[in-house]
């Protein structure tokens, strides 16, 4: 009996040890097959989901989508999330080029797909998860994007305005004003009619920061947000404390001569320093450039990020950028070497050019949410910084038990310059 039990356990251990290992690297989400556009699309456009897989054989992957609330909570609603139209059928991939060692398959797919399988029938926020079906639907990666309607009139203006009661550079803020005009009932389509009383919320997205948007809501008690004529079809939403920040730092590991494959990368410019009072050079508004780097030059490099400070930060420091969807995540926390006054972090990054920066914050151990995030403390804040802002207007639709639609959007850039600008709003 003991001999039989030993053989069974040995067989089980062997099977477990031989279970295939699948790793996902370099997840990117962007609009309309344009790597410079954040994942905010209009109805009828496509969102591109791109990533690499390290595995012995092509895994059985599926992407599952879910409509979500304006607060990014998945809607548990079969009318919004119809089972057949929320799951990809067959993902397209290519085998990694010769000379690449750190991934085996490259996936790039556009949604809604051309076969009419994955559909986004309603506007609003969408979540997705990349699942390994061979490993009990293990989640390999996750992301978010927004699908927009053009159902309301909307305009946006960005001004420079001093924030009262704060010293430099925290007093240089962007004042953002969004005008929304809900059409009369007779000018609306009956199936998607909008009651202007339920148009209460506008989110302001700075560059690619879908995970850190600024909100203006009729029902909030924020002293820095204002809604005029809240109960009329024409409303004006304003927020006065959006920091322009600084132009992002630039990670350029595109040169195989400077940074050969298979060698660890310590950036030749040296360790990063605080830019609290130092204006950076022009950036790509949070995007990454990877497409020019093909063949063996599309591999991943072990990049060491280093940040040298005169004294340790009172809060933890996190690396954020185009390589992690601009999220403050625990796996991007910098480690301090007190003897060198140096923070450092090693990350595998695909060869390319990326915008990035450092943020001080603390992450809640239970929720995983970042608290007290300060995007200025290590990077500075200056009106000269040019940002791309997207305003998204949300509407709470009473159908299907209630859900949030994204019924309009506007895009504007900050004015730049070194002084206040006069608004005629």
User: Would you say how long the chain is, in residues?
Assistant: 425
Residues paired with residue 154 on neighbouring β-strands, in sequence order: 180
Number of Cβ within a 10 Å radius of residue 102: 19
The Cα 19–Cα 12 span in angstroms is: 11
Task: Please give the pLDDT value at position 20.
Answer: 66
Distances (CA, A) of 95 to 100, 106, 118, 125, 414: 10, 6, 24, 32, 42
Distance CA 168, CA 277 (A): 9
**Taking the model in full, what pTM does it have?**
0.93
Q: Residue 339: its pLDDT value, please?
A: 81
Position 188 scores a pLDDT of 79
Q: Which residue segments constitute the domains of the chain, with CATH numbers given?
A: 21-147 (2.60.40), 153-245+384-413 (2.60.40), 249-374 (2.60.40)
* 11 Cβ contact list (under 8 Å, min separation 6): none
Predicted local confidence at residue 16, as pLDDT: 44
CA angle, 396 as apex, 394 and 401 as ends, to 5°?
A: 145
* C-alpha closest to that of 257 among 273, 269, 242, 268: 268
Contact 108, 48 (CB under 8 A): yes
d(CA 69, CA 62): 23
pLDDT of residue 424: 61
Annotate 158-200 with DSSP letters as a single string: EEEEEPTT--TTTTEEEEEEEEEEPPPGGGS-GGG---GGGEE
Report residues of the chain scoring pLDDT below 70: 1-20, 423-425
């Amino acid at each position: 009996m003991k001999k039989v039990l030993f053989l069974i356990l040995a067989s089980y251990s062997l099977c477990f040890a031989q279970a295939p290992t699948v790793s996902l690297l370099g997840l990117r989400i962007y609009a309309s097959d344009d790597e410079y556009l954040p994942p905010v699309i209009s109805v009828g456009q496509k969102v591109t989901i791109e990533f690499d897989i390290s595995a012995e054989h092509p895994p059985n992957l599926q992407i599952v989508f879910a409509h979500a609330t304006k607060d990014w909570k998945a809607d548990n609603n079969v009318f919004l999330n119809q089972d057949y139209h929320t799951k990809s059928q067959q993902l397209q991939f290519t085998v990694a080029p010769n000379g690449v060692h750190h991934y085996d398959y490259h996936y790039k797919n556009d949604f809604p797909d051309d076969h009419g399988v994955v559909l986004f029938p309603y506007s609003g926020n969408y979540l997705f998860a990349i699942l390994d079906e061979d490993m009990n639907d293990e989640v390999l990666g996750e992301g978010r994007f927004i699908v927009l309607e053009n159902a309301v009139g909307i305009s946006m203006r960005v001004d420079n305005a001093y924030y009262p009661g704060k010293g430099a550079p925290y007093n240089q803020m962007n004042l953002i004003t969004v005008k929304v005009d809900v059409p009369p009932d007779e000018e609306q389509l009956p199936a998607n009619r909008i009651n202007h009383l339920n148009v209460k919320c506008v989110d302001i997205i700075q560059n690619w920061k879908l995970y850190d948007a600024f909100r203006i809501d009729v029902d909030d008690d924020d002293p820095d947000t204002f809604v005029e004529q809240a109960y009329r079809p024409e409303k004006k939403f304003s927020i006065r404390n959006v920091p322009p920040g600084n132009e992002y730092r630039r990670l350029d590991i595109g040169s195989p001569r400077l940074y050969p494959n298979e060698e660890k990368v310590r950036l030749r410019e040296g360790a990063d320093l605080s830019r609290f009072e130092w204006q950076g050079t022009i950036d790509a508004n949070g995007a990454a450039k990877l497409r020019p780097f093909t063949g063996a030059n599309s591999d991943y490099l072990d990049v060491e990020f280093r940040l040298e400070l005169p004294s340790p930060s009172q809060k933890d420091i996190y690396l954020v950028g185009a390589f992690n969807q601009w999220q403050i995540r625990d796996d991007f926390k910098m480690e301090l070497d007190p003897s060198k006054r140096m923070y450092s972090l090693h990350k595998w990054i695909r060869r390319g050019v990326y915008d990035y920066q450092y943020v001080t914050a603390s992450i809640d151990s239970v929720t995983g949410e970042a608290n007290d995030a300060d995007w200025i403390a290590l990077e500075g804040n200056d009106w000269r910084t040019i940002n791309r802002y997207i305003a998204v207007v949300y509407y709470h639709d009473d159908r299907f038990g209630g859900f949030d639609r994204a019924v309009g959007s506007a895009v504007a850039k900050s004015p730049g310059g070194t002084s206040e600008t006069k608004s005629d709003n």
